[in-house]
Structures are given as structure tokens and as C-alpha cells.
Structure 1
Amino acid sequence: MPSTPVRLTPSTVVLLLIPPLMWAGNAVVGRLMQGSIPPITFNFLRWVIAGALLLPLAAWVLRPGSGLWAQRRRLALLGLLGVGLYNALQYMALKTSTPINVTLVASSIPIWMLLLGRVLYGVPIARRSAIGAVLSLAGVAVVLARGDWAQLGALRLVAGDGWMLLAALTWAWYSWLLVRPPAGGYPPEIKGDWSAFLLAQIVFGLGWAGLMTAGEWLTLPASPAGHLQWGWPLGAALLYVAVGPSLLAYRSWGIGVARVGPTVAGFFNNLTPLFAALMSATLLGEPPRLYHAAGFVLIVGGILVSARR
């Protein structure tokens, strides 16, 4: 990463606020859909819909002569991490874990961003980045504790938290790959077209997700028809996760990471637990509390310190 200060413009801040907002809703919806659809199947159908929505914009990228095939190995890796694995692992985590635990584990992503950058790419960990990580994690802890530190002792880790930890590592690596293009770079027609670049990842990602879905159904108990509960709730959930957390969030995340790098962008991910808490408060009819404001100040403070502005 460059040693010069990162400039957080208003447009960049907005772009990096959209993903955690969408992903907070994704955690809530994923939890609500438990019992209505198997988690890996949910992820597969999500990306089928997202890919179908992108076809009118970027169907040309699937033609034999497009630049898609020249970088098929890198795009296959991006598709595995960002499409096939990350959300499938998150939905698997939500089978046994709660949205608040999932967002807590996901808040470790900035730490993995720093560590993977150092180990894989030789990027030194700046002191400001480390301080920013501590501040942001403190803000997450304030929200999770609801202003009472004794509440943190009541949190219990389950198997789903382990799946989410693996998902966090997956997302950290995916984000670094976005700003570390392969040798020779991507073909201009893909690099300059966000819909083509995302559809290229989805094409390969659906291959991985399809294989995992097949494995999931082979391991399901008898009467597989009972594992899918079709209806408007499932349809609405699939449409939301295909448009919001998929197309809108991935598009915004890609631009934001390109502008400020994965390390600074990773700190915005810590806003996900705050947004999740606010969503829960809204759904339950409870007004925001003082600890929400305190958590927000700490999380944003970590972002600003890490950006050195």
C-alpha cells in the first residue's frame, strides 16, 4: 500500500457505506430463511438471479472471443472466494449462530486484511492501521455489549462462528485480489466495465456454487422436497440478496477498494454490526440508544485514523 495519506472523499465514503448496510440486512434475511431453504442452495440461487440480472448489460463477455477466457484462472479464483464461498459460509454459519455473533466475527476482517497484506504481498502494517483496528473493534464491542460490558461475557461461540471466521478470511483475500491484478492486467473491455467484470466472476462462481449445492443435496436427509418452502417470503428474500448484498454491494465495494485499498476499506466492514443493531431496533420498535452513538464514533474514528486524514 502507498505510504501517502488516503483521501476519503464524500463519494468514496458513500460507496463504502453501502456494502455494510446491505450485508447487515443480508445477515438478518439469511437467519430468517433458515428452515425455508438449505444455506448453500440459497447462495446458489442468489447468484443465479444476480447473473440473470447482469446478462442484459454484459452478455457479450460470455462470447468465445471476449477477454473473460484470457484471465480464466484469476476469475475462477475470484468466483470461488467471492461468489462460491463467502456467502455460502455465512449462510451456513447462520444455521447455528445468530446475526449478532456472525457480524461480531465478521468485524475481524480488517485484522485479516492487515495480516494477509503483510504475509501474501509484503505490505507493512502501519501503526495508524493497527490503532484504527483497535478503535473500530472497540466500537463493535460497545454496540454488542449494549453499553454494558457484562453483556460480552454472555456471548457464546458455536460451530457457526467458526464458519464465519473462515468466511472472513475468504473475504479478506478476495479484497486483496481486487487490487492485485494478474500479470499483464485484465483486458480493457473487462476492467472498464463493472457489469462484465462481476458477471465474469459470477460465471465461474456459479460453477463452484453448483458443485457445493450438489454436495449439499446429496447429504440432506430423506424427503428433499420438504427442505424448500417456496412462497413470497423466499422469493422476496432471494430478490433482496441478489440485488442489494450482491450487485449493489459488490459494485460499491469494488470501486471503494480500488480508491482507498483493502486495508482502509476493511474498516468500513465494522459498521455492519452497528447497522444490524439499528435494523433490529427498528424492527422491534425500540429507539436508538446512546451506546449506538458511542459505537459509531469509535468505528468512524478507526476509519479516519487508518486513512490518516
Structure 2
Amino acid sequence: MHQRLTPATAGLLVLPPLLWAGNAVVGRMMVGLVPPMTLNFLRWALAFVLLLPLTAWLLRRGSPLWPHWRRFTILGLLGVGCYNALQYLALTTSTPLNVTLVASSTPAFMLAIGALWFGQRVTSRQVLGALLSIVGVLVVLGRGDWELLSNVRLVPGDFFILLATAAWAVYSWLLLRPGDPAQVRADWAAFLMAQIVFGLGWSGLFAAGEWALEPQPVAWGWPVIAALGYVAVGPAIVAYRSWGLGVQRVGPTIPAFFYNLTPLFAGVMSAALLGEVPRLYHAAGFVLIVGGIVVSSRR
């Protein structure tokens, strides 16, 4: 049975959006220092090493992981191999605020993908909410200029974050489908490691392709080492655990609203660390996206 939202649980649910916003800002700061696909691979390789003491049993012969390798290969592709790699790629040409605002429209993507591929019934209220969220995304992508939007002058980063959001929506639907061994699903570290094991293969393949197409050496130094430590420990492990505990306590509905604190935190961090001041169209887009989610989730 789900509990009431307490200050402690609210703290658990505020921490992941804060860390995810920091992930976007750090990804922007690493442009020119670490190639995006390589950054994603290094992030998950370090997370693998950090989780290994908790999950070594999962990698042994006879572990419940290996009979389900097909499922975790797909989850690893979408959640580990694609989502953050595409986000880091988007940040090479777009701002953290733009990227997190578009990503906050995930519920609209989930609604569309659920209706098209997973047989999800869609209500008129959900359609209205999705339309509001889509308009919010269009406001952000058009930079508040409808003439610009009509001419479809999008930067590459806008396309990549849309693709990342779609990948995350499919990943989220697959998580809802049964098929995970109970022993793995019950252990948060094992469940994350099961995806990292196969996701590292995908992210390594993408990083190798990046180097084959356009080699760019990593500018090793304390800024890069600190950034890798942050993205591996904070957004990947601490946020994952905090979010899971929060959802266990209050259910999935309330955390969805906390998730939309991400662009607010990203806006504050971008202004403080990168000098990228939020604009009026960012606020308008945020109101429309959150408004759409509120409308969709009301009974």
C-alpha cells in the first residue's frame, strides 16, 4: 500500500531531477572535451565498476540473468546505449534547458507509443493533455517564434533529443511488461546492472563508430575526471535508487510531477554555470508541458 507524501519522500523525489539537470549541464560543459558517445560509454563503464561489489553474483554462470538475455539486450540498448548517448549528442548543439524541456514531454510520447504499439486505450482527456504538451515542445523548439517553427529550422540537437525521448518512452513501456526474473527485479542494483551489462556492448559499439567516423581525443584532466565521477555516481546510480524508493512509497503518479522539476533546475544551473539565461518562451513551454501532464493524469 502506498504511503502519503512525507518530507523525507519529497526529498527523495526532488534529488533525481536535480541530478538529471546537472547531468544535462555537465554534458554541455564536456562539449569539446569528451565526444558524446564516448562520454556515455565511460559513464556506464564506471557505473559498472561501482555496482560490481553489490552484483557480482549476477554475472556468474547459472545466474537468472542469462536466460533473459534478449530482454535485457533490448532494455540495455534503449536505456543505456541510446538515451543518454543521444542526450549528450543533443547537447553539442542545443542548451541544457531546451533538452530537458523537450525530454519532460515523455508522458506525451508514452501515450502515443502506448496507443500505437502496446494496445493502450486512450481517453479524450489524455489526448488533450498530450496536445498541450506537444504545443509546449513546439514553443521550445521554435524558440517562441512561430515563423521560425514554420520554416522548420531546427538545430541537430532538437532532433536528437526528440529521438532520445521516443527511445525512453519505448523503454518505459517495456519495463511495464512482465518478463524479468523475480530475483533480479527485486534488487535495484541487480536490475540496473542487468541493463548495464548489455548496454555497455551497445554504448561501446556506438563509441567505436564515433571514433571511426571522426576521432576526437579525450582532453583528460580534473574537469573530465570530476564530470565522469558525477554522471556515473549521481544521475546513473543515486538518482536511480532515490527514484525507485520514492515510487515504491507513493506510487508512480506523484513522481511524474517531480520529474518536471528537471528543466527548472537545468535553467537555474545553466544561468549560473554557463551564462545561458532562460527566455520567456522557456517558461511558456514549461507551463504547457506540465499543464498537459496534469490534464492527462487527472481522473
**TM-score tier after normalising by the smaller chain length:** 0.7 to 0.9
The number of aligned residues is 292
Higher mean C-alpha deviation, range 133-142 or range 288-297: 288-297
Q: 1:238 aligns with which of 199, 206, 228?
A: 228
How far 1:232 moved relative to its partner?
Answer: 0.7
Shift of 1:254: 4.6
Which residue identity lines up with residue 76 of structure 2 in the other structure?
G
Inter-CA distance 293–158: structure 2 relative to 1 (3 Å threshold): closer
Residue number in structure 2 paired with 1:210: 204
Alignment partner, residue 187 of structure 1? 181
* Contact 1:48/1:206 (<8 A) preserved: yes
For residue 251 of structure 1, report the CA deviation from its aligned partner. Answer: 3.0
Matched, 1:71 2:61: no
SS at match of 2:92: helix
Match of 1:247 in 2: 237
Distance in 2 (alpha carbons) for counterparts of 1:114 and 1:257: 20
Structure 2 counterpart of 1:81, which letter?
A: L
State the secondary structure of the residue aligned to 1:10: coil
**Length-normalised TM-score, structure 1:** 0.79
Tell me, which stretches of 5 or more residues in structure 1 are unaligned?
1-6
Q: In structure 1, the residue corresponding to 2:34 is in which secondary structure?
A: coil
Query: 1:133/1:248 Cα in 2 relative to 1: closer, same or farther (>3 Å)?
Result: farther
**8 Å contact kept, 1:113–1:172:** yes
One-letter amino acid of the structure 2 residue matched with residue 209 of structure 1 = S
Structure 2 residue matching 1:96: 3-state secondary structure: coil
Query: 1:8: how far off?
Result: 8.7
When residues 192 and 119 of structure 1 are mapped into structure 2, their CA distance, relative to the original with a 3 A threshold, is same
Q: Which amino acid aligns with 2:188?
A: W
Q: CA deviation at 1:286?
A: 11
Q: What is the RMSD computed on CA atoms of the aligned residues? A: 3.6
Give the CA deviation at 1:304.
4.6
Structure 1 residue 51: deviation in Å? Answer: 1.1
**Counterpart residue type for residue 102 of structure 1:** V
1:4 is matched with none
Is 1:43 aligned with 2:40? yes
- One-letter amino acid matched to 1:244: G
**Offset, 1:107:** 2.9
Asked if 1:201 is matched to 2:198, the reply is no
Residue 160 of structure 2 corresponds to which residue in structure 1? 163
CA distance in 2, matches of 1:109, 1:218: 32
| Secondary structure, aligned partner of 1:55 | helix
Return closer, same or farther for 1:177/1:13 CA change in 2, 3 Å cut-off.
farther
CA gap of 1:8–1:304, structure 2 versus 1, over 3 A, is farther
Contact 2:36/2:88 (CA < 8 Å) preserved in 1?
yes
Cα 1:215–1:60 shift into 2, 3 Å? same
User: Which amino acid is the alignment partner of residue 23 of structure 1?
Assistant: W
C-alpha distance in 2 between matches for 1:285 and 1:219? 32
Match for residue 99 of structure 2?
Answer: 102
Q: Distance in 2 between matches of 1:139 and 1:160?
A: 17
Q: Deviations over 1:142-181 (max 9, x none)?
A: 9x69xxx956777852112111111011111111111212
What's 1:279 paired with?
A: 269
What is the identity, as a one-letter code, of the residue corresponding to 2:185? K
Cα distance in 2 for partners of 1:255, 1:51 equals: 21
Q: In the superposition, relative to structure 1, how do residues 266 and 76 fare at CA in structure 2: closer, same or farther (>3 Å)?
A: farther
When the two structures are superposed, what TM-score results if normalisation uses the length of structure 2?
Answer: 0.81
In 2: Cα distance, 1:295 partner to 1:169 partner: 19
Say if 2:13 and 2:243, in contact at 8 Å, map to a contact too: yes
